[in-house]
Structure 1
């Protein structure tokens, strides 16, 4: 990605493919096609999201968007709150030069699969390193930002254990723990 692209102030996202096609004639801001459960139908074209995730449709939509934002259980289906094997959606999107930004990552135990032992940072790690997604949509931006700070190769490290414990304590307070 170019430096100019990284400076873009927003992403335009929509579950309606036709709105993204329309807006692509109005702005060059990056756009993402959001993808619901594959059994749901789009409101504008009445296609199922299963159809929209076909290779043919992904090839078509890449003329208008930089990526897709699938519901995370569409990428890695869960059963009884345990993750199953990942689908090939990320690999197929990447093969077409599309980014993948799944949604919605939340800190509450209700939304964390058992695989992550109630740890949202373990979930971020899994999705970014194991599934190789390009970005994440979250309702807890502070947690994701901290994860980025902790895993950045250029992070500033506290000089002693006391400073590290103080920093972690403040982060947990910010997240309501």
Structure 2
């Protein structure tokens, strides 16, 4: 494969009724005339945090490389700076994927906060202004990945990420996640009582993202909104009709905002509730096909039950190849 982080998502609704799935070439890098549209008649190719097997995750370079390699969507996590600017960053702390520890001027920023019920210590994005965050440099998350690009790229903003997709020579969708909304809303305050979710949706609207799934408006600028926090998705559903994906963690992790167990949020009753706000679920892969002692177990009934409630399956991307 061109990138270890381009993940093929099998959307069953796209292949029902086809006895044999036809071969679809990757999207062309250059379209003739108008920008080549998103190919909705086949599974989507989603670049999780960009081409992060080759380049540091969630950087402009990682997203541009993913687009060049044929991604239909580029995926990102959205957090906030101290001064309320939305940024593309996965961890609530900067420690694992930046050189913050090398900046002596920030040595006194180390903090311990409660995040999702756990004491977490580190350098938090919410304690740095955007200007300060831009002074840091990003590095690879894992030592087994290519380290030659460490220190070469900055953290980027949500708006910069959107611009990368819109500047592509073909239609490229975006797949942003509302990350740690409870924590962000506790630590960052916007004017006029706005919340993280308000600023997130306002940014999407600013750049023309709108429309329900597969509508003509949506196809022009495709976007999915994803979150592990059901209250964020419900709140966002009153702000935009863009399609939303309810992310589901492993069976040991309760929801960060409602403290519901995995069993509660995957019950038939809850699926009936959440389908009014989302088009699908994004379950962790182990909740679909469990692994015990490195052996795959029989698949669970999670997907079958989701389909029975008219929810599509958009498995949560991971930072390694996932073939479905």
Distance 2:284 2:275 in 1: 18
1:90/1:27 CA distance change after superposition, 3 Å: same
After TM superposition, give the deviation of residue 105 of structure 1 in Å. Answer: 3.8
Partner residue of 1:82?
295
Distance 1:87 1:79 in 2: 13
Aligned residues between the structures:
111
Q: Which has the higher strand share?
A: 2
Partner residue of 1:70?
283
1:53/1:25 CA distance change after superposition, 3 Å: same
Report if aligned partners of 1:71, 1:103 keep a CA contact under 8 Å in 2.
Answer: yes
Report if aligned partners of 1:38, 1:50 keep a CA contact under 8 Å in 2.
Answer: yes
Structure (1 or 2) with the larger CA radius of gyration: 2
1:36/1:45 CA distance change after superposition, 3 Å: same
Q: Which structure 2 residue ranges, 5 or more long, are not aligned?
A: 1-212
Distance 1:7 1:101 in 2: 21
Distance 1:75 1:53 in 2: 12
Distance 1:9 1:28 in 2: 12
SS of the aligned residue for 1:32 comes to strand
The equivalent position to 2:260 in structure 1, one of 32, 47, 53, is: 47
Distance 1:7 1:85 in 2: 39
Partner residue of 2:239?
26
Q: Deviations over 1:32-86 (max 9, x none)?
A: 0000012211111010122100010011000000000000001111012221011
Q: Which structure 1 residue ranges, 5 or more long, are not aligned?
A: 108-119, 128-177
Report if aligned partners of 1:11, 1:30 keep a CA contact under 8 Å in 2.
Answer: yes
Report if aligned partners of 1:31, 1:66 keep a CA contact under 8 Å in 2.
Answer: yes
RMSD (Å) for aligned C-alpha atoms: 1.7
Residue 274 of structure 2 corresponds to residue 61 of structure 1: yes
Partner residue of 1:111?
none
After TM superposition, give the deviation of residue 103 of structure 1 in Å. Answer: 2.2
After TM superposition, give the deviation of residue 96 of structure 1 in Å. Answer: 1.0
Distance 2:253 2:221 in 1: 31
1:75/1:8 CA distance change after superposition, 3 Å: farther
1:8/1:63 CA distance change after superposition, 3 Å: farther
Instruction: Give the TM-score normalised by structure 2.
Output: 0.33
Report if aligned partners of 1:39, 1:50 keep a CA contact under 8 Å in 2.
Answer: no
